[in-house]
């Protein structure tokens, strides 16, 4: 009963390094989302996908790229990490029916030094 | 555009007391969802309200959707230490067909024994 799995759970990067966060869901969900959460800021949408091979920008997309090559996986890439990208990153998924709840992963805690 | 405002941002409650958190929108919402995030955890879906004036209960939690479908409230009776966390309301954007969920900033609840 895995649901949404995020890898890694913790990571420390140096400024300028790149990395990829992986999100995998086993619920056959059409929609997948990447959020970042900063203290007092709530959840802000970075990018999202409405199906395999389709992605779109959210509220704060700059400095990030995404790919959805397989329906079950949604990758978030940091091209050149900056201290402002220090945050907790959450992946979520939901079914394609309208107004469905989102299921979240446990999050990735990322620190950029 | 559609925005979901949540108040208060922070709530300090004595164990056994009741409290209410509110969610307001300037536009009519198709539905409202509530999530709970425990400290160090991820958001977990609690409930969805769809109908005007709808009231739903989950044990000590009572959720209400306003008659005009522009506001919602979460009332917790006899608060317990297990109620600690941040409560988010969220609504799908009616102007967007891509399924983006608009989250409120959340109400952080601290319970004193």
CB A42 within 8 A of CB A59: no
CB A45 within 8 A of CB A35: yes
Distance CA(A94)–CA(A74), nearest Å, equals 13
Q: Are strands A87-94 and A103-104 parallel, antiparallel or unpaired?
A: antiparallel
**Would the pLDDT of B1 be above 60?**
no
CB contact under 8 A, A104 and B31: no
- pLDDT given at position B86: 96
Interface test with A, best of B101, B103, B107 (most A CBs within 10 A): B101
Taking only the tens of pLDDT, chain A with its 113 residues reads: 679 999 999 999 999 999 999 999 999 999 999 999 998 778 999 999 999 999 999 999 999 999 999 999 999 999 999 999 999 999 999 998 888 999 999 999 999 99
- For the four alpha carbons of B79, B87, A8 and A30, in that order, the dihedral sign comes to positive
Q: What is the CATH number of the domain that holds B29?
A: 2.60.40.10
- pLDDT given at position B96: 66
What residue numbers bound the domain in which B77 lies? Answer: 4-112
Residues B81-107: what's their mean pLDDT?
A: 87
**A61 vs B: CB within 8 A:** no
pLDDT in tens, A83-99: 999 999 999 999 988 88
* Phi and psi, residue B39, nearest 5°: -55, 125
- pLDDT given at position A81: 96
CB contact under 8 A, A104 and B42: yes
Residues B88-111: what's their mean pLDDT?
A: 86
N-terminal to C-terminal alpha carbon distance within chain A:
35
**Would the pLDDT of B69 be above 80?**
yes
Per-domain residue ranges for chain A? 4-107
- The CATH homologous superfamily for domain A4-107 is Immunoglobulins (2.60.40.10)
**B41 vs A: CB within 8 A:** yes
Distance CA(A74)–CA(A41), nearest Å, equals 23
- pLDDT given at position B68: 94
The number of distinct structural domains making up chain B is 1
Interface test with B, best of A101, A103, A104, A107 (most B CBs within 10 A): A101
Tell me which chain B residues have a C-beta less than 8 angstroms from the C-beta of A56.
98
């Amino acid at each position: 009963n895995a649901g949404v799995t995020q890898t890694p759970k913790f990571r420390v990067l140096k400024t300028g390094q790149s990395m990829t966060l992986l999100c995998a869901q086993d619920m056959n969900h059409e929609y997948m989302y990447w959020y970042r959460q900063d203290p007092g800021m709530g959840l802000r949408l970075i990018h999202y996908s409405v199906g395999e091979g389709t992605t779109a920008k959210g509220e704060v997309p700059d400095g990030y790229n995404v790919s959805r090559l397989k329906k079950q996986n949604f990758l978030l890439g940091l091209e050149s990490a900056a201290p402002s990208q220090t945050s907790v990153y959450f992946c979520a998924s939901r079914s394609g029916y309208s107004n469905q709840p989102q299921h979240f992963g446990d999050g990735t805690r990322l620190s950029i030094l | 555009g559609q925005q979901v405002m949540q108040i208060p941002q922070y709530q300090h409650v004595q164990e056994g007391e009741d409290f209410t958190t509110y969610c307001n929108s300037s536009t009519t919402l198709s539905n409202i969802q509530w999530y709970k995030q425990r400290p160090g955890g991820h958001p977990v879906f609690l409930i969805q309200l769809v109908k005007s004036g709808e009231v739903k209960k989950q044990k000590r939690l009572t959720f209400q959707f306003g008659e005009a479908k522009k506001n919602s409230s979460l009332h917790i009776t006899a608060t317990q230490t297990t109620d600690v966390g941040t409560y988010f309301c969220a609504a799908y954007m009616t102007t967007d067909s891509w399924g983006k969920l608009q989250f409120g900033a959340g109400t952080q609840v601290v319970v004193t024994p």
